[in-house]
Amino acid sequence: MKRFISGIAALALGLGLAVQPAAAASKFTDVTKTNQFQDEIQYLTGKKIISGFSNGTFKPKAEVTRGDAAIMIGRLKNLDGTKRPSKFKDVNKDSAASGYITSAVAKGYITGYADGTFRPNEILTRGDMAIILTRALDLRLGSMQSFSDVSDRMKASEAIYNIAGEFITGGYADGTFRPYDKVTREQFSAFLARALSPVYKQRTVNNDGFTYDMTKKYVFNVSGEELHVSYKNTSAKFGDLTYKGFFWEYKNTTTNKTQYVRYEQTKDAVYLEYPFSDANTELKLPVKVGKKWNPALSEEEFHTITGIGKTITTPYKKFTDAIEVTTETGNKKYFVKNIGQVKTVDKSGKVLSELKSIQ
């Protein structure tokens, strides 16, 4: 389901980032190597965003309270956590969270209740968590994903699709988000790590998909010039709008021209998204010869899957399992699982772009 703010379109085709090393053995006695979020917990511990308890435990299965969330978001955003009186009658000035609650409320990241309380011991839900992260990270770009248990009438719906579009969550295998489930400390750690690092964002992505790996750099030959494609946290300009966030950067090293896009894969399609504008359907899923679709509502041209298991050669390597997509103009695009689009040729067979390297 599309969740975008209207605006202007951009173009796409360039990648470079520092990969986070795997976490060392856990310093917490109750976070073992079998814990699926061990790396994320250690990553955030190293950044001093989360911490354990005096007895050496982390309590990964413990539920996160609103006070806990204020502390972790406060550390993430470098807010003043000095203990002090607050405007809430249920937040004592000596509370460990009092300073962070005051600072986070002042920034608008989290709010109190009409009765003058903050309810610091109230357990956080996944929907609550989505709202807090959307506010703290200024997320506005939405997602092409859809969740069967998230309706537009929900208070948290927009926030849920914002964090989905940022690969902070992938939802559950059954197509749900479960907005009213409680959030545990290990889950919240995973969400925060994904907000900060492409390494952890990539772990939410289908490993058998057709989108680029956010931890790798791709180089293409495009009409005699070199194009670098990388996933970066950067300040990007879209018309009159400037937005800071994670984007795929396409940089022509000859002209130094740079443009920014996003990619998402749902169960129905692979999308190339133009922030604050529109999205093109790059590949319709599931893959089947003869499948036809309109890539953009503003165009009348149709694309058709014309081959599966095609053999093509690029400077990077020979592929024997490419998906061939033919446009109405006769251009052919080739997609490979676990990589994405690797080659484009025109109807005469002239190469328009091809993958040169993956780093």
The whole-angstrom separation of Cα 262 and Cα 266 is: 13
Q: What is the DSSP letter of 81?
A: -
User: Three-class SS of residue 261?
Assistant: strand
Cα(215)–Cα(195) distance, integer angstroms: 14
Q: How many domains, the chain?
A: 2
CA distance 39 to 332: 41
Q: What is the pLDDT of residue 300?
A: 72
pLDDT tens-digit readout, 9-36 = 222 332 223 334 444 456 899 999 999 9
Can you tell me the distance from the alpha carbon of 96 to that of 82, in angstroms, rounded to the nearest whole number? 9
For the question of whether the overall pTM of this predicted structure is more than 0.85, the answer is: yes
Asked if residue 122 and residue 91 are part of one domain, the reply reads yes
Domain boundary (202, 231, 264) is at 202
DSSP assignment letter at 78: T
- Min mean pLDDT across 4-18, 77-91, 308-322 is at 4-18
Domain match, 177 and 90 both: yes
Q: Number of C-alpha atoms within 13 angstroms, CB side, residue 237?
A: 4
What confidence tens digit (pLDDT) does each residue in 244-300 have? 999 999 999 999 999 999 999 999 999 999 998 889 999 999 999 999 999 986 667
Task: Please name which of 83, 116, 133 lies closest in space to residue 245, comparing C-alpha atoms.
Answer: 133
DSSP 8-state class, residue 141: -
Is the residue at 30 inside a domain?
Answer: no
Peptide bond into 60 cis (omega under 30): no
Q: Does residue 230 sit in the same domain as residue 338? A: yes
Are the C-beta atoms of residues 270 and 209 closer than 8 Å to each other? yes
210, part of any domain: no
Write down the pLDDT at residue 7: 29
Taking all residues of the chain, what is their mean pLDDT, rounded to a whole number?
Answer: 90
> How many whole angstroms separate alpha carbon 12 and alpha carbon 341?
12
Residue 211 near residue 263, CB atoms below 8 Å: yes
CA distance from start to end of the chain: 33
- Do the beta carbons of residue 215 and residue 229 sit within 8 Å? no
Domain shared by 237 and 351, yes or no? yes
Q: Looking at the domain assignment, is residue 19 inside a domain?
A: no
Encoded tokens for 259: 């443009």
pLDDT above 90 (res 219): yes
Q: Do 340 and 230 belong together in one domain?
A: yes
* Bond before 120 cis per omega within 30 degrees: no
Residue 4 has pLDDT above 50, yes or no: no
Q: What is the pLDDT of residue 278?
A: 86
Does residue 212 form part of some domain? no
Residue at 169 is within a domain: yes
Residue 16 lies in a domain: no
Cβ atoms of 230 and 19 within 8 Å: the answer is no
Same domain membership, residue 231 and residue 105: no
- CA 340 to CA 324: how far, in whole Å? 12
pLDDT at position 298 is 63
* 190 and 222 fall within a common domain: no
192 and 258 in one domain?
Answer: no
The domain of 101 spans 38-202
Task: Let me know whether 162 and 257 are in one domain.
Answer: no
**Has residue 184 been placed in a domain?**
yes
Q: Is 20 among the domain residues?
A: no
Give 5's pLDDT tier (boundaries 50, 70, 90): very low
* Of the candidates 76, 74, 42, 46, the residue with the CA atom closest to the CA atom of residue 60: 42
Q: What is the DSSP string of 269-312?
A: EEEEE-TTS-EEEEEESS--TT-EE-S-TT----EEEEEEEEEE
- Both 62 and 193 in one domain: the answer is yes
Interval 45-70: pLDDT, tens: 999 999 899 999 999 999 999 999 99
Q: Which of 146, 178, 202 is the last residue in one of the domains?
A: 202
Mean pLDDT of the region 113-125 = 97
Residue 267 to residue 210: CA distance in whole angstroms: 11
Are 128 and 236 contained in the same domain?
no
Residues 238 and 274 in one domain: yes
Tell me which DSSP letter residue 104 carries: H
